[in-house]
Amino acid sequence: MAFDLADLLATRHGEGYALAEQYLNPQLSRTLHAIGFDRAYERAEGAYLYDADGHRYADFLAGFGVFGVGRNHPVVIRALHQMLDAGLADLVQFDCALLPGLLAERLLAKAPGLDRVYFGNSGTEAVEAALKFARYATGRRRIIYCDHAFHGLTTGSLSVNGAAEFRSGFAPLLPDTMIPFGDLDALAAELRKGDVAALLIEPIQGKGVHVVPPGFLAAAATLLHEHGALLICDEVQTGLGRTGRFFGYQHEDVQPDIVTVAKALSGGFVPVGATLAKDWIFQKVYSSMDRVLVHDSTFGSNAAAMAAGLAALSVIDDEDLVGNAERTGAALRVALQLLVDKYELLTEVRGRGLMIGLEGAPGRPGGAVRADGGRRAVRPAPDPDPGPWRPHRGDQAPPAADHRRGRGGAVPRQFPGCDGGRRPGQRADLGLRPDADQAGGQRPSAVMVTSPLVISTSATFRSCGYVILMLRSLPGTTATGTSGR
């Protein structure tokens, strides 16, 4: 019988976790069992996931930022169907296809001052291209990056990752240099050494939602250019309207030399990355015909990614998602500030547009780590359940227990401080539950503004202490999001 995907999905239904345990990253299913996120989703729409029983879940993770236009947007689906039906001559490699040019034209219209685009397949590839372009164009080797930065996990991007837990064990990496986020003096000191190619920076750091200090990007650009170095803005998280501007750097009067985007440009379907840069940089890197492929990737510019990207950009414009992110984000921050004022569990709300971080107190002496790295004194909240966390009998719900048996040992508590106020006897379910609105009521399921417990617990996948609320920026819709340290 000919291959039939629908048949495969039906006959192997429910085997996802077992297959992952056997054939994929073994820690993924283990982690999801441990934190009670071991659901099987059947379908998705907009900001919601649905399980086989029809329960609806507000998706606070948003594929780590992929679903800027929401899941399964009909305009993107239609574009992809049209692309497939067109029987295009895709990936010829030695041709100049129409779609990459059109997508570049449309992206660059949003980025005055930038002239050309390189298309790859992911955020980290966009960053790798930026690093190579900056080094080649300046003839220098050192990249300055920021404490806490995240730019992807391939080796070049890992060299500019500001978190030890990602780097550890992968040395030697590139000899790049970390400075404190937003520290102009530190940048100046590095630039004086004369070997810096570029500063790579997120206008708002995805991990922790730390916003660059006002004026920093413009001042840094001036300083960098005085020293013959470049400003690279990584907009993989912040780009395409999430912060209330099309690019996060556009909150300031600054002109970066290179900009990276990915994630939401996929329309939620086709992996893509794009590196936008000034003409002179492209002219240097691709300086002659024998250098035509000096930086390239086989699947970059593929028709599916280009079609999805064009559709996503259309949706962003047609539905005014950038303006909506600004308006909705402002209202949400006000609402969240009320929660911060009310609950001692929460200490700060920060961000721009719909890229919002809500900082939670770890609930232990010493308090939460602030954006500046200092320690904020947090009033101790009354603790109904003092004492160290330990596994409870209630944790031994069938999937987790089976899993643990298979691995021969208890699952360690991986996310200290994120127990969501659990009491003895409660299952280690840190808060994933069907949307309260699923019974059909009209009330929006804005769990993030009604339950601080859910806010704190939805941060558990990657760490604790913060949750980024990344709402699909459509009027009247609610939650998608992601978490970070």
- State the catalytic residues: 150, 234, 263
- In residues, how long is the chain? 485
Q: How many CB atoms lie within 10 A of CB 148?
A: 21
CA–CA separation, 19 and 395 (whole Å): 23
CB of 197 to ligand PLP, least distance (A): 18
Q: Buried b vs exposed e over 365-393: b needs ≥16 C-beta within 10 Å?
A: eebbbebeeeeeebeeeeeeeeeeeeeee
Q: What's the first-to-final CA gap in the chain, in angstroms? A: 49
CB of 369 to ligand PLP, least distance (A): 20
Q: Which is nearer to ligand PLP, 36 or 123 (CB)?
A: 123
Pattern 249-278, ligand PLP, x by CB under 6 A: -------------x----------------
Interacting residue with ligand PLP among 36, 70, 152, 162 (CB under 6 A): 152
- Give the helix/strand (H/E) hosting 164: helix 164-167
Interacting residue with ligand PLP among 124, 161, 302, 347 (CB under 6 A): 124
Residue range at the interface with ligand PLP (CB under 6 A); choices 67-75, 116-124, 213-221, 374-382? 116-124
**8 Å CB contact between 420 and 427:** no
Pattern 422-461, ligand PLP, x by CB under 6 A: ----------------------------------------
Q: Which is nearer to ligand PLP, 460 or 483 (CB)?
A: 483
Pattern 11-40, ligand PLP, x by CB under 6 A: ------------------------------
Q: Which is nearer to ligand PLP, 271 or 465 (CB)?
A: 271
Q: Which is nearer to ligand PLP, 206 or 353 (CB)?
A: 206
Q: How many CB atoms lie within 10 A of CB 220?
A: 24
Q: Which is nearer to ligand PLP, 355 or 428 (CB)?
A: 355
- Tokens standing for residue 27: 């820690």
Q: Which is nearer to ligand PLP, 160 or 281 (CB)?
A: 160
Q: Which is nearer to ligand PLP, 216 or 286 (CB)?
A: 216
- Tokens standing for residue 201: 């920076």
Within 13 Å, how many C-alpha atoms sit on residue 180's CB side? 10
Distances (CA, A) of 325 to 274, 312, 333, 391, 450: 22, 15, 11, 41, 20
Within 13 Å, how many C-alpha atoms sit on residue 308's CB side? 28
Q: Which is nearer to ligand PLP, 162 or 363 (CB)?
A: 162
Spell out the alpha helix ranges (H) of 40-161. Answer: 62-65, 74-85, 98-109, 123-138, 155-158
Interacting residue with ligand PLP among 33, 110, 151, 245 (CB under 6 A): 151
CB of 178 to ligand PLP, least distance (A): 15
CB of 44 to ligand PLP, least distance (A): 19
Site residues (CB under 6 A) for ligand PLP, limited to 204-243 = 206, 234, 236-237
CA–CA separation, 11 and 473 (whole Å): 36
196-201 and 230-234 beta bridge pairing: parallel
Interacting residue with ligand PLP among 35, 47, 117, 127 (CB under 6 A): 127
Which residue minimizes CB distance to ligand PLP? Answer: 123
- How many amino acids of this chain bind ligand PLP (CB under 6 A)? 14
CB of 235 to ligand PLP, least distance (A): 8
CB of 123 to ligand PLP, least distance (A): 2
CB of 300 to ligand PLP, least distance (A): 13
Q: How many CB atoms lie within 10 A of CB 7?
A: 11
CA–CA separation, 346 and 8 (whole Å): 45
| Residue 64 sits in the site that holds ligand PLP (CB under 6 A) | yes
Whose CA is closest to 404, among 20, 33, 9?
33
CB of 389 to ligand PLP, least distance (A): 29
Whose CA is closest to 443, among 478, 467, 411?
478
Site residues (CB under 6 A) for ligand PLP, limited to 130-149 = none
Q: How many CB atoms lie within 10 A of CB 425?
A: 9
Q: Which residue has the tokens 């920021």?
A: 146
- Positions in the binding site for ligand PLP (CB under 6 A): 64, 122-124, 127, 150-152, 202, 206, 234, 236-237, 262
